[in-house]
Structure 1
Amino acid sequence: MCCFFIFILFISCAVCQASRQFSIKTGESVTIPCRYDRKYIQHKKYWCYGGTFNFCTIQAYANNTKGKVTVTDYPAESLFTVTVNNLQTGNTGWYWCAVEISGPDVGEYLYITVKSDPDLSVMESRVRGEEGGNITVQCFYSAAYQNTQKQWCRFKDGRCNSVGRTATSQNSAVNISDDGRRSFSVQMSGLKKSDAGWYWCSAGDLQVPVHISVNNSTVFLNVTTNTDQQKDNSVHEMMSLWLLVAVGLGLLLILVSIVTYMFRKTCKKENQTRTRKKSNDAAAHTPSSAVDHEGDVTYSSVFYATKNQTQSLRVKDDEVTYSKMNSPPVRDDEVTCGNVHSLGDRDNEVTYSTVVRD
Structure 2
Amino acid sequence: MKLLLFLLLAAIPVTSSLSTERAFTSLVGGSVSVPCHYDVKYRDHVKYWCKGYQWTYCDILKQTDSPHSANDKISISDDRTGGVFIVTMRRLEKEDAAWYWCAIKLGGTKEADQYFYLHLTVTEGTPSLSVTSNLITGSEGGSASVSCQYARFYTKHVKYWCRGREWATCETLVGTDTPQTGGEKVSVSDDHAKLPRFFTVTVWRLEKKDAGWYWCAVQKAGADERIPLYLTVTDALLEVLDCRGEIEQRMREERYMALIERVGIAMISSAPTAPKARAQKMMAEDDPEAYLVIFEWLAMTALWPREF
Aligned Cα root-mean-square deviation (Å): 4.5
1:207 corresponding residue in structure 2: 228
Distance 1:134 1:166 in 2: 20
- Displacement of 1:187 in angstroms is 2.5
Within the candidate set 96, 105, 113, 1:100 is matched to: 105
1:162-219 deviation digits (Å, cap 9, x = unpaired): 535879xxxx711345567853221223x1443675654434453244555574699x
Within the candidate set 117, 131, 136, 1:122 is matched to: 131
Please identify the structure whose Cα radius of gyration is greater: 1
Distance 1:149 1:54, change over 3 A: farther
Larger relative contact order (C-alpha < 8 A, sep ≥ 6)?
2
1:112-144 deviation digits (Å, cap 9, x = unpaired): 32424244433576565783x655422113468
1:33 corresponding residue in structure 2: 35
Task: Give TM-score, length-normalised by structure 1.
Answer: 0.46
The structure where helix makes up a greater share of residues is 1
1:112 corresponding residue in structure 2: 121
1:274 corresponding residue in structure 2: none
Distance 1:234 1:12 in 2: 64
- Displacement of 1:82 in angstroms is 0.9
1:301-320 map, 5 Å: none
2:278 corresponding residue in structure 1: none
Amino acid at match of 1:106: Y
- Give the conservation status (yes or no) of the 8 Å contact 1:35–1:80: yes
1:1-358 map, 5 Å: 10=11, 12-13=13-14, 15=16, 17=19, 19-65=21-67, 68-101=73-106, 103=112, 105-122=114-131, 126=136, 128=138, 131=141, 135-142=144-151, 150-153=160-163, 161=173, 163-164=175-176, 173-177=185-189, 183-189=198-204, 191-194=205-208, 197=211, 200-203=214-217, 204=225, 206-209=227-230, 211=232, 215=236, 229-233=258-262
- Gapped runs of 5+ residues in structure 2? 1-6, 218-224, 241-246, 266-308
Task: Give TM-score, length-normalised by structure 2.
Answer: 0.53
2:297 corresponding residue in structure 1: none
Distance 1:214 1:166 in 2: 31
- Give the conservation status (yes or no) of the 8 Å contact 1:36–1:79: yes
Partner SS state of residue 126, structure 2: coil
1:308-350 deviation digits (Å, cap 9, x = unpaired): xxxxxxxxxxxxxxxxxxxxxxxxxxxxxxxxxxxxxxxxxxx
- Give the conservation status (yes or no) of the 8 Å contact 1:200–1:208: yes
Distance 1:214 1:154 in 2: 22
The structure where strand makes up a greater share of residues is 2
